[in-house]
Amino acid sequence: MCSQRDPDDLTARARIREAALQQFGEHGFERATIRGIAEAAGVSSGLVRHHFGAKEALRDACDEYLVKALVQINDQVRAAPNPPDVNYLAVASAAFGPYQRYVARALTEGRAAPLFDKLVELGAQWLADLDAKRPDPPTVSREARATVGAAMALSVSVLHEHVSRGLGVDLSSPEGGDLLARVMLDLYSHPYLTPEEAAEYLAHLPAPESRKAHDD
Amino acid sequence: MCSQRDPDDLTARARIREAALQQFGEHGFERATIRGIAEAAGVSSGLVRHHFGAKEALRDACDEYLVKALVQINDQVRAAPNPPDVNYLAVASAAFGPYQRYVARALTEGRAAPLFDKLVELGAQWLADLDAKRPDPPTVSREARATVGAAMALSVSVLHEHVSRGLGVDLSSPEGGDLLARVMLDLYSHPYLTPEEAAEYLAHLPAPESRKAHDD
DNA sequence: GTCTATATAATGATAGAC
DNA sequence: GTCTATCATTATATAGAC
């Protein structure tokens, strides 16, 4: 899918970045070592420093690369013949391909903000179509809904291991992906609440101002 | 809410655990140091070892404590006069209180499995009520839906910073919590897909067997 | 561009005194 | 129960050769 070419064809710099993405993803930023990354890339630790300087700069390069990749994928998807609809959600999980673990960690640590924001942007575009067909006016801004929606779409990726365990199949496997799609389809076509229930809850919600003095 | 008593009232052991939860949450397990935790707890590094032994054992103690706290909160909520319904979701975000960061990291790293599983269990109970009112039979098992639902419910907590940024308010603030509740209410009362659309997508989904030979 | 070797700092673990 | 002092390990950062 993305940059799935032969590792031998890549420059040392690219191989290092690729190895860093993998090692950071597998062991986490702190636990991953420059030496380990160098070894995985088939170069020396000295070369890593030569190309990227400090460890953090290497991580920054990884983040930058992923944003570029996401924008690329996004453009591809939007240029595709049939608009993706739900598949937007699949994009979030699948697009990062082998880098899912890295993305999950980066996001959890509050990093890779442009990546998240791009996803929100895509979600908002998608929500715009949905809002047109909607009978009642939304009670909150589209961007707010897109933000929470993006977080939810990413959750499966981020909590990959736990979801796999709960589902009983590895999400990375075809069977896992298939089951996940079916679950998503069911979940996204069956609201937890009726509009009436939501309205009732909403009415019982303390006004934003009065919450200031809220106490438990 | 939970264990919000004066730090001075806590035993050294509890203070250490509290400090560990905070430090692990703020800096991550690897980056957090025994020394830093000891300092935050107002004790010596030697005492940390005396009580918990190795660093990993300290983390395990933190995980155990949170499961205990979750079960406790769950029992409280279930014993409450009016059943929580959606509030189940708020439980996930709010219950862990000051430990949200820790939980987010632990979960992302594939740890704290019992905690996730407990949440799935709670979600399944809640889904059982919903399924009773549902016209069409679910296409996937309740546990599968509860699993993905749990991941989604946790996503806001896990991606706390990004969601806060996207919403324009700190989720920890009363304003943030209020906005989140409104967004959730809107999202959970408006399905992304109609049952017809979902059925169509489902029909177009490759059969589980045929996917084996799937190729891109 | 790439490698080897070394310096320096920080950390987890430990032992022993009070 | 609590502390101080020390050991052994490990990783980053650096310098310098090829």
| Six-digit token string for B115 | 């905690």
Asked whether residue B193 is domain-assigned, the answer is yes
pLDDT at position A216 is 38
Residue nearest to nucleotide D5 (CA to C1'): B46
Extract the residue ranges of chain A whose pLDDT is less than 70.
1-9, 80-95, 207-216
Looking up tokens 């749990």 gives: B150
Q: Do A151 and B161 touch (CB under 8 A)?
A: no
Give the 3-state secondary structure of residue A200: helix
Cβ neighbours, 10 Å, residue A9 = 8
Residue B192: list chain A partners with CB under 8 A: 86, 130, 188-189
C-alpha B138/C-alpha B145 separation (Å) is: 9
C-alpha A87/C-alpha A68 separation (Å) is: 20
Nearest to B32 by CA among B46, B19, B14: B19
C-alpha B163/C-alpha B169 separation (Å) is: 9
Asked whether residue B203 is domain-assigned, the answer is yes
Asked whether residue B2 is domain-assigned, the answer is no
CA distance B193 to chain A (A): 5
C-alpha A179/C-alpha B204 separation (Å) is: 14
Asked whether residue A2 is domain-assigned, the answer is no
C-alpha A188/C-alpha A127 separation (Å) is: 13
Judge if the beta carbon of A130 is closer than 7 A to nucleic acid strand D.
Answer: no
Nearest to B121 by CA among B71, B69, B63: B71
Asked whether residue B210 is domain-assigned, the answer is yes
Extract the residue ranges of chain B whose pLDDT is less than 70.
1-9, 81-95, 207-216
C-alpha B198/C-alpha A115 separation (Å) is: 28
Judge if the beta carbon of B34 is closer than 7 A to nucleic acid strand C.
Answer: yes
Name the nucleotide nearest A48; use CA and C1'. Answer: C2
Do B173 and B159 meet the contact criterion of CB atoms below 8 Å apart? no
| Six-digit token string for A101 | 């673990």
Looking up tokens 């054992």 gives: B57
* DSSP calls for A37-99: HHHHHTS-HHHHHHHH-SHHHHHHHHHHHHHHHHHHHHHHHHHSSS--TTHHHHHHHHTTGGG
Count contacts between A and B (CB, < 8 Å).
Answer: 232
Residue nearest to nucleotide D10 (CA to C1'): A33
Do A106 and B28 meet the contact criterion of CB atoms below 8 Å apart? no
Structurally, how many domains does chain B consist of? Answer: 1
Q: What is the largest CA-CA distance in chain A?
A: 64
Name the nucleotide nearest A46; use CA and C1'. Answer: C3
Asked whether residue A1 is domain-assigned, the answer is no
pLDDT at position A97 is 75
pLDDT tens column, B149-207: 999 999 999 999 999 999 999 988 889 988 998 999 999 999 999 999 999 888 887 76
Burial B153-187 (b: 16+ CB within 10 A, else e): bbbbbbbbbbbbbbbebebeebbbbbbbbbbbbbb
Judge if the beta carbon of B46 is closer than 7 A to nucleic acid strand C.
Answer: yes
C-alpha A149/C-alpha A147 separation (Å) is: 5
Task: Give ∠ CA A33-B63-A93 in degrees, rounded to 5.
Answer: 60
CATH of residue A175's domain is 1.10.357.10
| Six-digit token string for B205 | 């989904």
Q: Which domain holds residue B158?
A: 7-215
pLDDT at position B90 is 60
pLDDT at position A10 is 76
Task: Give ∠ CA A66-A67-A69 in degrees, rounded to 5.
Answer: 60
